[in-house]
Amino acid sequence: MKKLLSAAFVTLALAACTTTENTHVISSDNAIAISALNSTPKNIIMIVGDGMGPAYTTAYRYFNDNPNTEIVEQTVFDRLLVGMSSTYPARVSGYVTDSAAAATALSTGVKSYNGAIGLDVDKKSVETVLEWAKKQGKKTGVVVTSQVNHATPASYLTHNESRQNYNAIADSYIDEGIKADVILGGGWQYFIRDDRNLVDEFQSAGFHYIDNPKDLNVLPKQKPILGLFADAGLSGALDDANKFRLSAMTKAATKQLENDKGYFLLVEASQIDWAGHSNDIASAMAEMADLAKTVEYLEHYVEKNPDTLVVITADHSTGGLSVAANGKYEWNPEILWTMAQSPQKIADQLAVSTITIKEASNLLNFDVTSEEVTLLQQTKDKASQQLVNFNALNEKNQKGLTKPSIEKALNTTIKKIIDIRTNTGWTSGGHTAIDVPVFAFGQNSKLFTGNIDNTDIAKKIFKLLGKK
């Protein structure tokens, strides 16, 4: 009995210490933090790591590891993990979702068919959390590394029966009423067209337009912003002048959106998915590093703005990434640490230069072997001959055939060399149906813990925004 009483006493004492400690922390953060504990978030930031299944966050942990220490250091993803989410679309599309159906689920709380943008299975518009936030008087924004009319941002901003209707989706950003105060990403070819100049229309509506990322540092205060920095998607993180371009855009957006009523911001690390489709581990890790930098910035942001909620998840996983392959119990990311260009950019250069050990080593930024150079040269020779044979065909016989590409063939071989060196595996060039991780921090973040469905994320955000 005495032992039980002692244990109870210790428990109560620890609880008292914890309460005292928390009270001290709260008081040091001033009255804003105290009031934030008993209210809904003023700001909500939703982050989608497109294609970022659990293997990506695991691979990033080892990619980010310091090999000179005994421990494997935690990443920002490790310390913020709160649960997992299922990703399946509406029954009509089976178990494997595309980005449009997944983003529609995340933005509306409704399952739909693959390809749907903000519509249900009957192709009826469904209100999104961004649209609802705008109606509540909050500012809204989207920040992506794809074109801004790609599947995920579109599913928060508009409604269309097909994600492939890029021009119509871009047009709707004006025609259905402007719903975002900040739009940052790529998309010149869809916004500046022969038939319509949407940039001019945004400017006429009072937007400040920028097309150079450097201008993110000098945005006019209290003015809506349209920033388009590429013809379609931005350059990949490995090839961009700023390898942390998502972080830079997010930082600018949060500053621009701040106001008395708060804001809703969608951030998408779009090109994790693109790297997965391409089975490109080097580019995938660079995109993950950019996302990690973004989340680390937001951790500091939430410390200063405790009335902010950040939720992070993936829409699905892409590529069937395996961190180890071929029955070998190892994964070796060392060569990925030094790579300064994407495999595709390296392939473009090798296609027009003499392939030597020195040239290939300089471009890959690690020492290649004579066997690897031979493999690259054989690939180039074979693709060159295939191109000659294709060009010798008449137009009728060429029809229905894919024109051989030396650059594409070399890209595939470079990725194969990297996969062998790192012992990385892939099962698909498409999406997989596995559950994806959920991360959350800030005000009311505990709502997102446990095993949930992707639609639950939107439903919980709607509730926090006051929708019953």
Residues that are catalytic: 99
- What is the distance between the alpha carbons of residues 174 and 177, in angstroms, rounded to a whole number? 5
Q: Quick one: 368 exposed, middle or buried, by C-beta within 10 A (0-12, 13-18, 19+)?
A: buried
Q: Which are the contacts of 388, defined by CB distance < 8 A and separation ≥ 6?
A: none
Q: What distance lies between CA 125 and its chain's CA centroid?
A: 25
Cβ atoms within 10 Å of 372's Cβ, excluding its own: 21
Q: Which two tokens stand for residue 383?
A: 């693709």
Find, among 439, 440, 452, the residue nearest to 57 by Cα.
439
- Are the C-beta atoms of residues 266 and 150 closer than 8 Å to each other? no
Q: Which two tokens stand for residue 200?
A: 């001019």
- What is the distance between the alpha carbons of residues 93 and 74, in angstroms, rounded to a whole number? 37
Cα angle, residue 317 at apex, residues 299 and 126 outer, rounded to 5°: 80
Find, among 435, 432, 436, 452, the residue nearest to 96 by Cα.
432
Find, among 413, 416, 414, the residue nearest to 425 by Cα.
416
Cβ atoms within 10 Å of 346's Cβ, excluding its own: 25
